[in-house]
Amino acid sequence: MAMATPLLPLLLLLLTLATVSADKFTVGDSKGWNPGVNYTVWEKKNRPFHVGDWLVFYYQEGMADVVEVDEVAYNKCDASNPITNYSKGRSFAFELNHSQMYYFICSYGYCYQGMKLAIKAEPLTPPSSPLSQKTSSAPSIVPRSAAAVTLASAAAALTALLRLV
Ligand SMILES: *[C@@H]1O[C@H](CO)[C@@H](O)[C@H](O)[C@H]1NC(C)=O
Ligand SMILES: *[C@@H]1O[C@H](CO)[C@@H](O)[C@H](O)[C@H]1NC(C)=O
Ligand SMILES: *[C@@H]1O[C@H](CO)[C@@H](O)[C@H](O)[C@H]1NC(C)=O
């Protein structure tokens, strides 16, 4: 049917844009941020992480905390010199703002059994479609909000087209 043809590029556009949207990761999934979970395994299962993604730590108040440290302190389970220290409430959301390594440990002694998390936030890459290759000299980072607006309008256009069919 003739109407189906214009839908294909739109669908491809939607799929491409969907891959650059920010993700929210619950650290440890249903196990949360607790002793006895191997977060190295969790990280391998959930990578890659990107700038703009969120990590959400759920922990038991008074039983655990989330301490951001550097690599040396991470390797030694040393929480004495934290970059940041989150111990209030039962959950904590952390945005991966920069393309870098992030290290988190628990300062309650469980770090030695694996309650530690090292995460690399990868830079955002532009969609590798023929469209973006034409403008490859342009800045390579598409702002999230712009991508979201494009996605929303593409979705609206697709919905309108589907109504026509
Ligand atoms: C985290 O901050 C709290 C409150 O400021 C403090 O009592 C605790 O010792 C700190 N923990 C670490 C590991 O720095
Ligand atoms: C990330 O950036 C936002 C906006 O500038 C800021 O509010 C937030 O505190 C930053 N998060 C971290 C973990 O640095
Ligand atoms: C977690 O799993 C990794 C990969 O299987 C392993 O190398 C590591 O020793 C484990 N850590 C702990 C504390 O068991």
pLDDT for res 117: 98
Measured distance CA(125)–CA(139) in Å, rounded:
11
Average pLDDT over residues 131-144: 46
pLDDT for res 110: 95
Nearest to 74 by CA among 102, 47, 94: 102
pTM of the entire structure? 0.70
107 lies in some domain = yes
**Residue 57 belongs to a domain with what CATH number?**
2.60.40.420
pLDDT for res 21: 73
Q: Which residue has a Cα nearest atom 2 of ligand 1?
A: 85
144 lies in some domain = no
- In which band, very low, low, confident or very high, does the pLDDT at 40 lie, cut at 50, 70 and 90? very high
Is the Cβ atom of 36 under 6 angstroms away from ligand 3? no
Measured distance CA(52)–CA(29) in Å, rounded:
19
Is the Cβ atom of 97 under 6 angstroms away from ligand 2? yes
pLDDT for res 72: 98
Average of per-residue pLDDT values in the chain? 79
- In which band, very low, low, confident or very high, does the pLDDT at 163 lie, cut at 50, 70 and 90? low
Range(s) of the domain holding residue 104: 20-125
Question: Ligand 3: distance of its center to the CA of 38 in Å?
Answer: 6
Question: Ligand 3: distance of its center to the CA of 63 in Å?
Answer: 22
Instruction: Identify which has the larger pLDDT, 144 or 53.
Output: 53
Instruction: Identify which has the larger pLDDT, 127 or 3.
Output: 127
Is pLDDT at 132 greater than 60 in this prediction? no
Number of domains in the chain: 1
**Across the chain, which distance is largest between two alpha carbons, in Å?**
67
Q: Which residue has a Cα nearest atom 14 of ligand 2?
A: 97
9 lies in some domain = no
For the four alpha carbons of 26, 128, 134 and 4, in that order, the dihedral sign comes to negative
Question: Ligand 2: distance of its center to the CA of 100 in Å?
Answer: 14
pLDDT for res 142: 47
Is pLDDT at 116 greater than 70 in this prediction? yes
- In which band, very low, low, confident or very high, does the pLDDT at 125 lie, cut at 50, 70 and 90? confident
Q: Which of 121-125, 138-142, 148-152 has the lowest mean pLDDT?
A: 138-142
Average pLDDT over residues 78-106: 96
27 lies in some domain = yes
Judge whether 116 and 106 are in contact, CB under 8 Å.
yes
Is pLDDT at 154 greater than 90 in this prediction? no
Ligand 1: lining residues by beta carbon, under 6 Å: 67, 79, 82, 85, 87, 107
For residue 97, give every residue at least 6 positions away whose Cβ sits within 8 Å of its Cβ, in sequence order, or none: 51, 52
45 lies in some domain = yes
Ligand 1 atom nearest to 85, measured from its CA: 1
